Amino acid sequence: MNLRWRLALISSFVTLLALAALVIGSGLLLERVRLRDLDEELGVQAKVVMDEIADGTRSELSLSVADALSTAIGSSVAWVYENGQLMTGDGINAPEPLEPSFFSSPQTSSVTSHAGWRVYSLRRSAMIVQIGRPLAPLERVNLSYWRIGSATALLAALLAGITITVAVNRVTEPLERLAQRVQTLESGAPIPALGLRDEVGALARALEGSLGDLRRTRARETRFLADAAHELRTPVTALLTDLEHHAARPRSSSDDRAVLERSTRTARHLRDLASNLLTLSQTERGLDKRPVDMFEIAANVVDRNASLAAHKGLEISLDGHPAAALGDAVALERAVENLIGNAIKFTDSGAVRVTVGIHDQRVQLEVLDTGIGMNPDLLEAVFEAFERGAETRREGSGLGLAVVKSVIDAHVGTVTLHQHAPHGIRAVVSLPRA
């Protein structure tokens, strides 16, 4: 059963319950009011009869009293007793006495129902007057009310159900159109109900924003896959071409050494590219976060890159003290590796200095180089996958800083690049403390 019919049925059921409660409450109130009015009328009649007896007429009720016992809504019967003996009465097909229990009661007056009659009893000295009226007419009126009220409630619930169904159809129609549009996400059809100023319109506008984000994400993924395929194909092609060309002609030991060096650089490039892609994939799936010492991670990376820095004639150093952050050690080491590797790659002379410590109650790692620097306009753009600075002749895939950004974001941290005077780059990573 769809939402439309569920809403209609629930609304109709609630309406029926409300009408039933109204009918029952009104019926009970009406019955109580009519019974109260009858009690008041019987009480007045009992006093009239008692006053008649007080004037000395005990054997026969006067014509005026008999008229008082007969009203437009029903006729009452009256029994008069003296010392428990029936003196006179005006009742046909009425039980005698109307209420036997009153004779043994100390009460001076009472009103009660007995044997299908409503009886008002009044005592004055040795005299007792009982006025009664059958409850059957009142019960018939009540029964008629219940029948009419029930039929009216059912009819009203049916009409309300039809009205509610029509209203629900009008309300849910935009939702159905939205649902149909969601099933065809790739189509260029406009999102319906955007102009509505209610919850449906808000949902449509939220859906439009989500679809826009989805399109942009898919476009980035498509571009990422194309760039990744290109980055993988280029070094593999170069490696195969070099090896095939070298194998097809006579070669010397110097040629072998040159080919091996190029092949080694290409294999290293492929390894770094694969490691970066794997790290990006891990940040998407989720990381295993534990307390890790960022100083220890930086020390490991500096040790691994010391020979590379020395080969270029660069000084590389590590300063600071242990600082524990909550994170994934492997992913964080990959991010630090990329930062220090970039600093060495783009520095031809001078030094690369790494510092780890606590700043503003957060773990901070800083990598400072004296390299070629970067156009300030590109300091943010280089964090996108396969984006590079102005210097594109140097070996690299364009994934390093994208991996750094992805890893640090996954750790609820920040990474920023700053142009360092007179030249060089200062990379600053800030992470929450463990």
With a cut of 70, say whether residue 246 has pLDDT above it.
Answer: no
DSSP-H helix ranges across 55-100? 63-69
d(CA 340, CA 250): 40
Number of domains in the chain: 2
Q: Is residue 170 part of a domain?
A: no
Does 261 fall in a domain?
no
Distance CA 100, CA 84 (A): 10
Average pLDDT value over all residues in the chain: 81
DSSP 376: G
Distances (CA, A) of 312 to 315, 348, 425, 428: 9, 7, 18, 24
Q: What angle do CA 22, 23, 28 make, to 5 degrees?
A: 100
Single-letter code of the amino acid located at 322: P
Q: Does residue 15 sit within a domain?
A: yes
Whether pLDDT at 361 is above 70: yes
Q: Residue 46: which of 141, 106, 120 has the closest Cα?
A: 120
pTM: 0.47
CATH number for the domain including 81?
3.40.1840.10
Domain boundary at 140, 175, 195, which?
A: 140
More confident residue, 387 or 229: 387
Indicate the helix (H) or strand (E) that contains 81.
Answer: strand 77-82
pLDDT category of residue 243 using cuts at 50, 70 and 90: low
Which pair of tokens denotes residue 2? 């769809």
Q: Which of 93, 115, 140 is the last residue of a domain?
A: 140
Going by their DSSP bridges, the two strands 290-293 and 324-327 should be labelled as antiparallel
pLDDT tens, position by position, 189-241:
666 666 666 676 777 777 777 777 776 766 666 665 555 555 555 566 666 66
Domain of residue 133 covers 3-140
Residue 276 located in a structural domain: no
Say if 131 falls within a structural domain. yes
Query: Tell me: the pLDDT tens digits for 156-197?
Result: 888 888 888 788 777 777 777 776 666 665 566 666 666 666
Final residue of a structural domain among 124, 140, 156 = 140
**Do residues 231 and 265 touch, judged by C-beta distance below 8 A?**
no
Residues 124, 129: Cα–Cα separation, whole Å: 9
Q: Does the residue 301 lie in any domain?
A: yes
Higher-confidence residue of 72 and 74: namely 74
Q: Which long-range contacts (CB under 8 A, 24 or more apart) does 22-31 make?
A: 22/153, 23/146, 23/149, 23/150, 23/152, 23/153, 26/149, 27/142, 27/145, 27/146, 27/149, 30/142, 30/145, 31/138, 31/142
Any domain includes 188: no
